[in-house]
Amino acid sequence: MNKDYPRSARIGTQIQAIVSEVLIKKTKDPRLSGVSITDVKMNADLSCAYVYFAVTGTGDKRIKEALNGFKSAKGFFKKTIGNELKLRYTPELKFYYDSVLDSGQKMDELLKSLKKEEDGPENGEDNF
């Protein structure tokens, strides 16, 4: 048994790959277009997979659309995972929006604005 990479992490990685592939190749729901899976965390007994996703576009409306798309396709995802992984029990899927990318984007914008302030006016005028 490899304690550095527990079974729950290995199963989570496999589920991430399966859900990502299904999103790209098999899902026709427009609410799930532009959605990518950023991470999957498993609980210790492998009964639940917490699937984190990011969306292209912004706004709460877009996130809600994606969550509704996942909700309606949950059975399809679960069946596909069950067929591919051959586990005794297929884990319950719970989908969550991954806001880490938003935080990174906000930080990037803040750093860019600080850089502009540091560089001063672009037209050579001094502000006294």
Predicted confidence (pLDDT) per residue in 28-61, tens digit:
999 999 899 999 999 989 999 999 999 987 788 9
Walk me through the domains of the chain, giving residue ranges and CATH numbers.
7-119 (3.30.300.20)
Among 99, 4, 5, 93, smallest CA distance to 43 is for 93
* pTM of this structure: 0.75
Using CA atoms, how far apart are residues 55 and 57, in angstroms rounded to an integer? Answer: 6
The pLDDT score that the predictor gives to residue 5 is 73
Closest CA to 80 of 5, 37, 31, 16: 16
Q: Is pLDDT of 62 > 70?
A: yes
Q: Tell me, what's the pLDDT at 128?
A: 46
Q: Is the pLDDT of residue 117 over 60?
A: yes
In this structure, the number of other CB atoms found within 10 A of the CB of residue 126 comes to: 6
Contact 62, 97 (CB under 8 A): no
Q: Is 12 in contact with 38 (CB distance < 8 Å)?
A: no
Rounded Cα–Cα distance for residues 94 and 49 (Å): 6
Total Cβ atoms within 10 A of residue 67: 17
Task: Give me the amino acid identity at 31.
Answer: R
Share of the chain above pLDDT 90, in %: 59
As given in the structure block, the two tokens for residue 122 are 């672009």
More confident residue, 80 or 114: 80
Asked if the model's pLDDT at residue 114 lies above 90, the reply is: no
Find the mean pLDDT for residues 76-105. Answer: 87
